[in-house]
Amino acid sequence: MSRIGLDIDSTLHHYWDLLESIAERRFGVSLPYESQHDWGITELQPDQLRACVEETHSEHNILGAEPYAGAVEAVRGWHAAGHFVHVTSHRAPHTEEATARWLRSIGLPYDDLRCSYDKVSRCVELGIDVLVDDSPVNLAAARERGMLGATIVHPWNRRLVAHDPGVVGAGDWIELRRRVEPLLAPGAEPLRAPSEHGRT
Ligand SMILES: [Mg+2]
């Protein structure tokens, strides 16, 4: 059985529109989705960005998130097949209770939940095999530690998906489920860090 790490924002639900609307309302800054080609958001000062992200993680906003079509069904299928599901979100620890309530409300089963800022090291501790996460920074760090990556493709992770065969990218959860499942199957290819590609 495999062990899956599962991000929330921009992975289980479309987070960007919420962040963009908060940035616009609070600071008059527009953050067009299609122009966001990098992980860093330079249009906002660091403290402005922090304030916006914090507001996206209010109880109201956490509980209002609508999962991507097919996401819950895919994770239910993986969990029912016996795979370990670790839900991991880069948000303050005090949001964990609301996050757990949201996961229950959408019917997403999991074995472990962590809201914190040490995502990849926690995945290493838990022996995660595949990290499903949209952040190119997290995906690259996970790859360096021998995990496979998978993501919904967004403008900010397109380049990584194109260049690292160990990161599966998909346009939606129907395709993501189909592409990730062979990686979870018993006897799937042993996991390889990028540095091992091409070695004899
Ligand atoms: Mg995310």
pLDDT tens for 8-19 read 999 999 999 999
Could you tell me the distance, in angstroms and rounded to a whole number, from the CA of residue 15 to the centre of ligand 1? 8
User: Which of 4, 15, 5 has its CA nearest to residue 154?
Assistant: 15
Contact 177, 185 (CB under 8 A): no
Could you tell me the distance, in angstroms and rounded to a whole number, from the CA of residue 9 to the centre of ligand 1? 4
Could you tell me the distance, in angstroms and rounded to a whole number, from the CA of residue 105 to the centre of ligand 1? 20
Encoding tokens for residue 138? Answer: 């997290």
Could you tell me the distance, in angstroms and rounded to a whole number, from the CA of residue 135 to the centre of ligand 1? 6
| Residue-level pLDDT at 185 | 80
| Residue-level pLDDT at 194 | 47
For the chain, what are the domain ranges? Answer: 3-13+67-186, 16-64
| Residue-level pLDDT at 40 | 87
> pLDDT tens across 24-70, in order?
999 999 999 999 988 888 889 999 999 999 999 999 999 999 999 99
Could you tell me the distance, in angstroms and rounded to a whole number, from the CA of residue 156 to the centre of ligand 1? 11
Could you tell me the distance, in angstroms and rounded to a whole number, from the CA of residue 200 to the centre of ligand 1? 35
Q: Name the amino acid, one letter, at 81.
A: A
Could you tell me the distance, in angstroms and rounded to a whole number, from the CA of residue 136 to the centre of ligand 1? 10
Could you tell me the distance, in angstroms and rounded to a whole number, from the CA of residue 10 to the centre of ligand 1? 5
The single residue listed with the structure tokens 């189909």 is: 178
C-alpha span between 95 and 99 (Å, rounded): 6
Q: Is the pTM of this model over 0.75?
A: yes
Could you tell me the distance, in angstroms and rounded to a whole number, from the CA of residue 17 to the centre of ligand 1? 13
Contact 157, 139 (CB under 8 A): yes
C-alpha span between 187 and 133 (Å, rounded): 24
Per-residue pLDDT in tens (0 to 9) along the chain, 200 residues:
999 999 999 999 999 999 999 999 999 999 999 999 888 888 899 999 999 999 999 999 999 999 999 999 999 999 999 999 999 999 999 999 999 999 999 999 999 999 999 999 999 999 999 999 999 999 999 999 999 999 999 999 999 999 999 999 999 999 999 999 998 987 665 544 444 444 33
| Residue-level pLDDT at 189 | 58
| Residue-level pLDDT at 188 | 64
| Residue-level pLDDT at 193 | 43
Task: Report the CATH number of the 3-13+67-186 domain.
Answer: 3.40.50.1000
Could you tell me the distance, in angstroms and rounded to a whole number, from the CA of residue 197 to the centre of ligand 1? 26
Report CA-CA distances (Å) from 147 to 31, 44, 90, 177: 31, 32, 18, 17
Torsion of CA 53, 91, 18, 180, to 10 degrees: 140
| Residue-level pLDDT at 38 | 86
C-alpha span between 1 and 70 (Å, rounded): 22
C-alpha span between 67 and 103 (Å, rounded): 10
| Residue-level pLDDT at 71 | 98
